[in-house]
Amino acid sequence: MLQKSLHFELDYFFDLKRQIAIKRFTHKKFWNVVLHSLTSWVIAWCGIYIQSCIFPFFIQLFNIICIISICIIQDVSLGLVSLPGFLVIFYHATYLTSMTILQTLSLAMLIGLLQIFVGQKWIEGSEPFSGPNKSNSALFAVCDVINDIFIAPFHFMVTLGLRLDLREDIRWQSDTELRKIMSRMQPAP
């Protein structure tokens, strides 16, 4: 029987090697990583646009500062590389777009379906949402959804960099965490 939860705590959201290990565990094929690397920027843009319609500017600014800070905390050089991308989508979603919330939600749903059916079912050949349960906590689940909306472009950019052999130090650390995850997923004796 497979273990039902990996029992991660909230420190998971600041640990790049564990997050990349999970991405590598659930996104094994190169083209699926490429697809998710491109489409996750659109999902992040949708999230930022929807928050700009709901919340005042100082909350939006606080959110983008938190997103950038978390990326820089996880890895300084890669966080700084992703900084222009986050600033561009923040500026565009906040000031330049003329979409409605319904159009943005529709776009986010279409991109999500593209990721699920083309990425997971067609490219990976696996069932969507069949990866390991990271935690049983409701707070963790909420933070994980926020992480998957706003910080996924950074994680998929790093995962794509690993697939292209650009950062061997992160690969080595991620390999260690990936082995731990796979050993937790082994059937119990």
Domain positions in the chain: 10-184
Contact, 45 vs 86, CB < 8 A?
Answer: no
Is it the case that residue 131 has pLDDT exceeding 70?
no
pLDDT at 187: 62
pLDDT at 5: 66
Share of residues in the chain with pLDDT > 70 (%):
92
pLDDT at 109: 95
Amino acid at position 1, single letter = M
Share of residues in the chain with pLDDT > 90 (%):
52
DSSP secondary structure, 47-100, as one string: HHHHHHHHS-HHHHHHHHHHHHHHHHHH-HHHHHHHHHHHHHHHHIIIII----
Is it the case that residue 189 has pLDDT exceeding 60?
no
pLDDT at 3: 43
pLDDT at 4: 55
pLDDT band for 1, please (50, 70, 90 cuts). Answer: very low
Q: What is the mean pLDDT of residues 22-36?
A: 90
CA–CA separation, 67 and 85 (whole Å): 12
Three-class DSSP category at 174: helix
pLDDT digits (tens, 9 = 90+) for 42-78: 999 999 999 999 999 999 999 999 999 999 999 999 9
CA proximity to 104, closest of 52, 153, 151: 52
Question: Cα–Cα distances in Å, from 66 out to 71, 73, 146?
Answer: 9, 10, 12
CA proximity to 143, closest of 4, 8, 41, 49: 8
Is it the case that residue 151 has pLDDT exceeding 80?
yes
pLDDT digits (tens, 9 = 90+) for 98-117: 899 999 999 999 999 999 99
Task: Look over the chain and give the mean of its residue pLDDT values, rounded to a whole number.
Answer: 88
pLDDT at 186: 66
pLDDT at 74: 92
Is it the case that residue 168 has pLDDT exceeding 50?
yes
pTM: 0.85
